[in-house]
A and B are shown apart, each in its own frame.
Chain A
Amino acid sequence: MSAPRLDDYAAIVGSERIAVLRRHARRLEGLRVAVVNSTRVGGGVAEMLARHVPLFNELGLRVRWEVIEGTPQFFEATKTMHNGLQGAPRELTPPLREAYLEANRRSADRLDLDADVVVIHDPQPAALIEFATKTCPWIWRCHIDAARPNRGVWRFLRAFVSKYDASVFSMPAFAQNLPHPQYLIAPSIDPLAPKNQDMDDVEVNAILARFGLDRSRPLVVQVSRFDRFKDPVGVVRAFRMVRRRDDCRLILVGGSADDDPEGAQVLREVHDEAGNDPDITILSIPPDSDREINALQRAATVIVQKSTKEGFGLTVTEGLWKARPVIGGAAGGIKVQVYDHRTGFLVHSVEGLAYRLRYLLNRPGLADEMGRRGRELVRHHFLLTRDLRDWLTLFLEVTGRAVA
């Protein structure tokens, strides 16, 4: 199947929104943009870029996607930075700093960064600005919940970030003390991507069957990387509390992205916690299992995202788009997607998750109503057409082309 084109989105968001994108893009015709992140596969950022880049190009911009490469020690350093930005007490040791800088130095030589605007995603390639020749506006896009960063890690990173011309955060709470303009752009999902496009019950059931699952009992589903900040162990504990009264199954779905070396360790901890409980299914699936994830989210009675830290929580967005109620940890971007009693519930503890799960499992009509509201919320605010529009506005701003 060929990739969706802009006009294909009109049926979902309305033709006027597509027309607005085209109008803005005309002012940016031929703009050369280099975007850099750390992986082409796995994780929300790579998924988003995989859709943004072709659509920007269809709009007449010339967007090139580059990927920084590094040694295992580089990815250990960037994982430490990622966790540190989320507030974990981690130290960037001198060898880790050196591995980080060396990968950025080498990549600055290797990557084609000749452009009219350079957009750098997350900490991994942030130091490219130190080693590349800067001839245009550079924008740093931070997808991480950096509301209360580890000070040492942030001080190290800030030395590079402060050289940028602007930065973009997903939530106001993540904004930092920086010497340049900061903007908010919420991430988004692609409603026509295999992970989110409509799927009939026959296919949903067939995919469930491949995993030995069915919908004879309510399904509680959490889809996310096996990461401590996603608290999969807490989800298992909450499920046990629910099971004392309510019959249901728990499915934890995750994979490991290329830049996530801690995943295997957390996965072991989850297995230890789950033991041999036949009603808990732990699926570690490849990062490109989009249709499988689509089916599992659609089959869910309730979707859970019990994060204690969260950049934005695109799995929440995906769940809401499938018209399922979501119970989420009150962290990061989950708070702008999950509204108590409207699209789901925000919880602050394992007990809170258990309580709200029971609440929704016993009120299927209410759960459906929340799901419908959640889908409309996403339609208005968190689909990629809105994201593209925000980026076009930012490009107009930093290039000075926003003149009426």
Chain B
Amino acid sequence: MSAAPDPFAVRGTEGFRFMDYEGLVMPTGLRAVNLRELVDLVRRVPLDVIHHHLHRTPLSHRFGAWDYPNDFAQWAAYSLEDLALAEKLAALDPYAHRDLDEARAAIVDLVEEHLDGLPTVPWARAGFEFHFASGRFVALPGEREVWTLGEMQDALAEVSLSSIFYHFHEARLRGPVDDSDDFSRWIEGQFGPHPIARQLRRIDFYFYSLEDLRQRIVSVFVEHRGAA
């Protein structure tokens, strides 16, 4: 009797191509020196600016600490030194809003309500204004193509962090509205309902640095490989 095949060595019918995610930040020249100016500009900047400040923060370095996961919350904490506002902005889940207009409205409402409760408008420390920017990012096919769970696990440990960001964070804004990442979509597309896919979708990625997220994703594979 032959042994059951190693589930991590079973080939899918389609491969998974890791993409390189490359881009540059583009400053707009618009800046806010206080909270009133910030909210006024949030109302009128193009949506790709909102997207940049709300979603691309993980691409910057975080010293392993994940205190404030978007640029608005970071600015409130470190430049305005308004920790209550920083907490509220940090708790805002950008992926809960399918539409960036909706996300923009949520930020405006949150900041306006906060301003209503303040006796004065908070100002940024000199030199720590909020500079609005957008980004020009492009996904280019990388060299890694994987066909098995084992190959995917190995690749995940090595690909660039921006590639992880593209497949895990950006995927939610690009794919079907199912709040999932490219990895779990591929796994279920190739192997049907799968515990690894389910567990990947449950990762609360918003609070991880990209390096921590990589470790977390790999740990899901390791755990299941051990059990298999």
Contacts and interface: CB of A to CB of B under 8 A. Distances in A.
Contacts of A173: 31, 127, 129, 131
Q: How large is the interface on B (under 10, 10 to 19, 20 to 34, 35 or more residues)?
A: 20 to 34
A24 B158 contact: no
Contacts of A349: none
A267 to B, nearest CB: 28
Which of under 10, 10 to 19, 20 to 34, or 35 or more describes the interface residues of A? 35 or more
A184 B135 CA distance: 9
Q: Is the interface of A mostly helix, strand, loop or mixed?
A: helix
B83 interface: no
A373 interface: yes
Contact of A185 (B24, B29, B126): B24
Contacts of B131: 172-173, 175
Nearest to A186: B25
Contact of A169 (B27, B128, B138, B160): B27
A24 B61 contact: no
Contacts of B60: 381
Contact of B127 (A17, A182, A331, A339): A331
A172 B25 contact: yes
Interface in B71-95: none
A184 B140 contact: no
A394 B61 CA distance: 21
Contacts of A394: 24
B195 interface: no
A402 B140 contact: yes
B136 interface: yes
B100 interface: no
B10 interface: no
A393 B23 CA distance: 7
A373 B63 contact: yes
A402 B22 CA distance: 10
A149 to B, nearest CB: 13
A330 interface: yes
Interface of B: 19-20, 22-29, 31, 60-61, 63, 126-129, 131, 133, 136, 138-143, 158-160
Given A16-B158, A339-B63, A393-B22, 16 more contacts: A16-B159, A23-B143, A24-B140, A172-B31, A173-B31, A173-B127, A176-B29, A183-B25, A183-B26, A184-B25, A184-B26, A335-B127, A377-B61, A380-B61, A402-B22, A404-B140
24 contacts: A20-B142, A20-B160, A23-B142, A24-B20, A24-B22, A172-B25, A172-B133, A175-B28, A176-B29, A182-B26, A183-B136, A184-B27, A185-B24, A330-B127, A373-B63, A381-B61, A390-B24, A393-B23, A393-B24, A394-B24, A396-B138, A402-B22, A404-B139, A404-B141
